[in-house]
Amino acid sequence: MKHLPRGLWVLLAANVVIALGYGLIAPALPIFASTFGVSVTAVSAVISAFAVMRLAFAPATGRLVTVLGERRIYLTGLIIVAASTLACAFAASYWQLLIFRAAGGIGSTMFTVSAMALLIRLAPPQIRGRASGYFSAGFLIGNLTGPLIGAALIGGGLKLPFVVYAIALVIAAIGVAVLMPPVPAHAGSTPGAPAVVEAVTFATACRDSAYRAILASNFAQGWASMGVRIALVPLFITQGLGQSDAWAGVILAFYAGGNMVAILIAGRLSDRYGRRPVLLPGLAIAAASTLTLGYSPNLAVAVALTTIAGLGSGLFAPTHQAALGDVLGTSQRGGSALAAYGMASDLGAVVGPLAAGAVATVFGYGPAFLLTGLVVVVALVLWLPARETNPDGHPTAPDDAVPIDAPEQLNPAGRAPGRRVWSIRR
């Protein structure tokens, strides 16, 4: 079994710190915003502003990573979020808090896009699934423990969680800058000379059936797991089933538990047997459990379905990350294709709660979760004809290859329709 390189372990450790801090300020942010005497809608706007800026700045981040490199943009993003978070702690008005939090979204998308690029570059193809699983697990661990620590810190004042998170981000940035070894040069570069990198564009990547399916499953992940799960599941438990607020937190913990179990095995399985044999069952499980969740007759059924949904998400989320690395190749830096991957999840996380919330208001929770499940079904349908990016546990192409998925262009050359051809960039 090939070991993960040191640079990847540094990246994974930093990811835990980032996720821990994100969860750490989660309970404090809405309470702090409400102290300025604004409405619930205005409080929600502070939270949404972060996601909106992530979404808006992602294309520019892809270009910056291409020009300036993953490591530099990653560190810059960490510093921007640290500065904006510290500024939030000392915001004197609602509008200052809104602006400072929105600025943090810019830094967040910088380190998120560059982290994915680094993950693809640093993880050898043979263990890319396992590395993606560790990456997802680290984020989940941080999100689970962060709110607990944040709730304890609130006792020392609402500003304290923001200060602690800012300090943690600075420590993470220093750790990455000092401990992470130089990122390997891109294929085709001359030692001592700047690497000439031709990043995979969004238009080029969209010719690949696997990439189109990856975008769909990441959009579904953002909609169902990052959006509706947080926004609607607690309301369904308290309002739809008449349970206490405590059970709303417990059911999210069951989801996270199922997620963690699946994540720990999904990466290894996809490295050994291919991406689709892990991804397709995961999407099917997540779709089936989500479609029926809103019709749960009691708490026990809701807990079981939520746990099953966590298992399904844990199977497909890290696996499509590994598939993205297979598609883009380790020699590719940034680019609009990588940025679009992050945007798909952010878009789902923004649109999902709004759409499902509107449906729940008019028609009830059953149709709202039915809509969410259908989004996952669409992703599953797009994956059914998609190619396997890692058949039999082997890379599908050299790391400096760009995929071409246009059978109509291949037939004149005498190749069978649908056969995979790779164009090597030198």
Percent of the chain with pLDDT over 70: 84
Per the domain annotation, does 225 fall within a domain? yes
Per the domain annotation, does 310 fall within a domain? yes
Does residue 29 share a domain with residue 142?
A: yes
Does residue 277 share a domain with residue 301?
A: yes
213, 279 contact by CB (below 8 A)? no
Is 195's pLDDT higher than 80? no
Measured between alpha carbons, how far apart are the two ends of the chain, in Å? Answer: 31
Between CA 407 and CA 416 the distance in angstroms is: 8
Rank 44-53, 146-155, 255-264 by mean pLDDT and report only the highest: 255-264
Percent of the chain with pLDDT over 90: 29
Full domain range(s) for residue 83: 1-182
Query: For the chain, what is the radius of gyration of the CA atoms?
Result: 21
> What CATH number should be reported for the domain holding residue 167?
1.20.1250.20
Between CA 404 and CA 205 the distance in angstroms is: 8
Per the domain annotation, does 190 fall within a domain? no
201, 340 contact by CB (below 8 A)? no
Assign 357 a pLDDT band (cuts: 50, 70, 90): confident
Does residue 233 share a domain with residue 173?
A: no
Of the residues 136, 151, 182, the one at which a domain ends: 182
Rank 16-20, 172-176, 242-246 by mean pLDDT and report only the highest: 172-176
Does residue 260 share a domain with residue 134?
A: no
Per the domain annotation, does 169 fall within a domain? yes
- pLDDT recorded at residue 40: 65
> Which tokens hold the place of 404?
């071409």
If 0-12 CB within 10 Å is exposed, 13-18 middle and 19+ buried, where does residue 398 land?
Answer: middle
Does residue 418 share a domain with residue 361?
A: yes
Does residue 86 share a domain with residue 215?
A: no
In this predicted model, which residue has the larger pLDDT, 330 or 148?
148
Q: Output phi, psi for 401, to 5 deg.
A: -100, 150
Q: Output phi, psi for 3, to 5 deg.
A: -85, 155
Per the domain annotation, does 192 fall within a domain? no
Helix 245-273 and helix 276-293: axis angle, to 10°? 160
> Which tokens hold the place of 349?
């996380």
Does residue 235 share a domain with residue 106?
A: no
Which amino acid is present at 413?
A
Between CA 242 and CA 421 the distance in angstroms is: 56
- Total domains, the chain: 2
Cα–Cα separations (whole angstroms), residue 125 to 90, 137, 236, 271 = 45, 19, 42, 8
Average of pLDDT values for 149-177?
A: 86
Of the residues 138, 153, 182, the one at which a domain ends: 182
Cα–Cα separations (whole angstroms), residue 87 to 101, 150, 361, 368, 377 = 9, 18, 36, 37, 42
- pLDDT recorded at residue 184: 62
pLDDT per residue as tens digits for the range 229-284: 877 888 888 888 988 877 877 787 788 888 888 988 888 888 888 999 999 999 99
pLDDT per residue as tens digits for the range 86-141: 999 999 999 999 999 999 989 988 988 888 888 877 877 777 777 777 877 777 77
122, 11 contact by CB (below 8 A)? yes
Of the residues 134, 154, 182, the one at which a domain ends: 182
If 0-12 CB within 10 Å is exposed, 13-18 middle and 19+ buried, where does residue 3 land?
Answer: exposed
Does residue 118 share a domain with residue 67?
A: yes
Does residue 255 share a domain with residue 177?
A: no
- pLDDT recorded at residue 392: 61
Per the domain annotation, does 187 fall within a domain? no
Nearest alpha-carbon partner for 197 in 210, 209, 183, 185? 185
Is 418's pLDDT higher than 50? no
Is 424's pLDDT higher than 80? no
Is 407's pLDDT higher than 50? no
Does residue 418 share a domain with residue 312?
A: yes
Is 312's pLDDT higher than 90? yes
Per the domain annotation, does 319 fall within a domain? yes
Per the domain annotation, does 322 fall within a domain? yes
Assign 33 a pLDDT band (cuts: 50, 70, 90): confident
Nearest alpha-carbon partner for 320 in 399, 203, 223, 213? 213
Does residue 54 share a domain with residue 9?
A: yes
Does residue 24 share a domain with residue 140?
A: yes
- pLDDT recorded at residue 382: 96
In this predicted model, which residue has the larger pLDDT, 187 or 231?
231
SS (H, E, C) the chain: CCCCCHHHHHHHHHHHHHHHHHHHHCCHHHHHHHCCCCCHHHHHHHHHHHHHHHHHHHHHHHHHHHHHCHHHHHHHHHHHHHHHHHHHHCCCCHHHHHHHHHHHHHHHHHHHHHHHHHHHHHCCHHHHHHHHHHHHHHHHHHHHHHHHHHHHHHHHCCCHHHHHHHHHHHHHHHHHHHHCCCCCCCCCCCCCCCCCCCCCCHHHHCCCHHHHHHHHHHHHHHHHHHHHHHHCHHHHHHHHCCCCHHHHHHHHHHHHHHHHHHHHHHHHHHHHHCCHHHHHHHHHHHHHHHHHHCCCCCHHHHHHHHHHHHHHHHHHHHHHHHHHHHHHCCCCCCHHHHHHHHHHHHHHHHHHHHHHHHHHHHHCHHHHHHHHHHHHHHHHHHHCCCCCCCHHHCCCCCCCEEEECCHHHHHHHCCCCCCCEEEECC
